[in-house]
Amino acid sequence: MADLLTWLRLWLSSTHQTRALLQPNPNHTKPASFRNISPDFVKVRKVSDSAIMTVRAYDPYDDDSDDGDDIRESDQIIQRIIKIHDELWKLDDFAPCPLVNERLTELVQICSKTYDRETVDEVLTFHALQRKIPNLREICDIAESALESHWAWKILAETKKQQPDASQADDIYDSDRVFECLKTFPYYNNYVELARFELHAIMSASTTVPRKIAFVGSGPLPLTSLCVLEGLKNLGASLGGLPVNSQNGEAQPIEVYNYDRDEKAVEVSQKLCRALGKYAEGMHIVLESAFSRAMDLRSFDVVFLAALVGFDQCEKENILHSMARRMKPGGLIVIRSAHGLKTLLYQAVDITSKPLLRILEPCMEVHPYGQVVNSVIIARRKAEE
């Protein structure tokens, strides 16, 4: 009987404590019913790639919430990127303007920041954002081309000399002034850093200084080619002169051939290179598609493939395979790719796919941190079987 009375006392005590815990805290102001709780108070979080999902309601008024900084950061990143996408996607075009410039600058800054692996995975696997990635890449593609075209024509217009004889056919430019104006391009330093980065990668995979370069997809503002051209000339000078052709022992000039299929891009880049004069000595601009048989790549030491050439992995594989078949054995190909959140801006390239491994030998893949957006893949054309 005593045991029964003791059990009843304990049961009543625990019931009283439970009821007390369920009483509302007078210091909190919150919705009276769980039915009225905003959807923002409910977190649904996918855990890895399994079917396990965690769903929990949390109190936004609770100062002791255990919601970690990493989860809050990924949520903020997702929300901000989706908002940027929605603002830009409704526009008629992505030509440079205050809204486009501000939103794209913010998008690049978000994607260029260094995050922990968990945060990156949470962002990239968020379903609502995944559906918008093709749109984001298309926006970046069109906006980048529009920005380069805008600046190429802007540089030409601002540096053109006034001619006393209006009937004179050719425009006259001061190459030094054109070059100084070119350096005011908003992403000029990024191009310089990327080109330096790529040259170091090339030299680590090559025993000689390349003397003939092809750049496929050079666009209206061939900044990379100009930076590579200058870098190779400086490198050749630091090594005791220009690269020497082993067949005849004569010093060979460094040349960069720029290929693009867009007539307007070719037109403005040709004019810009002529205006740059000595700074573009060795530059050639050619109207040609990446698939064209007329683009004979056998004489080139290094071939670049621009990040915007090929929208997805399948397209890039087809282009790379076509280009590699027209390269000499041992020739290097430089492929611009992306890593982490930067894949929201550019398509990542898998160089280890079976079709590419049949014709290309991967040498290295390097992912820079910071404001250099593109990763670099170096591969070597395999010998003919």
Give percent above pLDDT 90 in the chain: 69
> What is the pLDDT, as a whole number, of residue 125?
96
Residues 6+ apart with CB under 8 A from 291: 319, 322
Query: How far apart, in whole angstroms, are the C-alpha atoms of residue 287 and residue 264?
Result: 10
> What is the pLDDT, as a whole number, of residue 161?
83
Q: Which of 144, 132, 236, 150 is nearest to 191 (CA)?
A: 144
Q: Which residue has the higher pLDDT, 33 or 73?
A: 73
Query: How far apart, in whole angstroms, are the C-alpha atoms of residue 149 and residue 266?
Result: 10
Q: Which residue has the higher pLDDT, 56 or 365?
A: 365
Task: Indicate the pLDDT class of residue 145, thresholds 50, 70 and 90.
Answer: very high
Q: Rounded mean pLDDT of 326-346?
A: 97
Contact 218, 225 (CB under 8 A): yes
Task: Indicate the pLDDT class of residue 294, thresholds 50, 70 and 90.
Answer: confident
Lowest-confidence region among 55-64, 327-336, 344-353: 55-64
Q: Rounded mean pLDDT of 120-126?
A: 97
Pairing of strands 42-46, 53-57: antiparallel
Q: Which domains does the chain have, with CATH numbers?
A: 70-139 (no CATH), 188-381 (3.40.50.150)
Q: Which residue has the higher pLDDT, 292 or 32?
A: 292
Contact 193, 112 (CB under 8 A): no
**In sequence order, what are the beta bridge partners of 8?**
none
The answer on pLDDT for 359 being more than 90 is yes
| Helix %, strand %, coil % of the chain (to 5) | 50, 15, 40
Task: Indicate the pLDDT class of residue 166, thresholds 50, 70 and 90.
Answer: low
φ/ψ (deg, to 5) at 42? -110, 125
> What is the pLDDT, as a whole number, of residue 196?
93
DSSP one-letter string for 128-151: HHHTTHHHHHHHHHHHHHHHHHHH
Q: Which of 283, 344, 300 is nearest to 136 (CA)?
A: 344
> What is the pLDDT, as a whole number, of residue 42?
38
Task: Indicate the pLDDT class of residue 22, thresholds 50, 70 and 90.
Answer: very low
Query: How far apart, in whole angstroms, are the C-alpha atoms of residue 317 and residue 298?
Result: 19
Query: How far apart, in whole angstroms, are the C-alpha atoms of residue 54 and residue 10?
Result: 35
Q: Which residue has the higher pLDDT, 15 or 130?
A: 130
Task: Indicate the pLDDT class of residue 175, thresholds 50, 70 and 90.
Answer: very high
DSSP one-letter string for 183-215: TTSTTHHHHHHHHHHHHHHHHHH-SS---EEEE
> What is the pLDDT, as a whole number, of residue 31?
41
> What is the pLDDT, as a whole number, of residue 234?
87
Q: Rounded mean pLDDT of 242-258?
A: 70
Tell me if residue 158 falls in helix, strand or coil. helix
Task: Indicate the pLDDT class of residue 291, thresholds 50, 70 and 90.
Answer: confident
Lowest-confidence region among 173-182, 223-232, 239-248: 239-248
Task: Indicate the pLDDT class of residue 282, thresholds 50, 70 and 90.
Answer: very high
Q: What is the mean pLDDT of the chain?
A: 83
pLDDT, one tens digit per residue, over 190-203 is: 999 999 999 999 99
How many helices (H) and strands (E) the chain has is answered by 12, 9
Q: Is the dihedral of CA 173, 176, 181, 186 positive or negative?
A: positive
The answer on pLDDT for 112 being more than 60 is yes
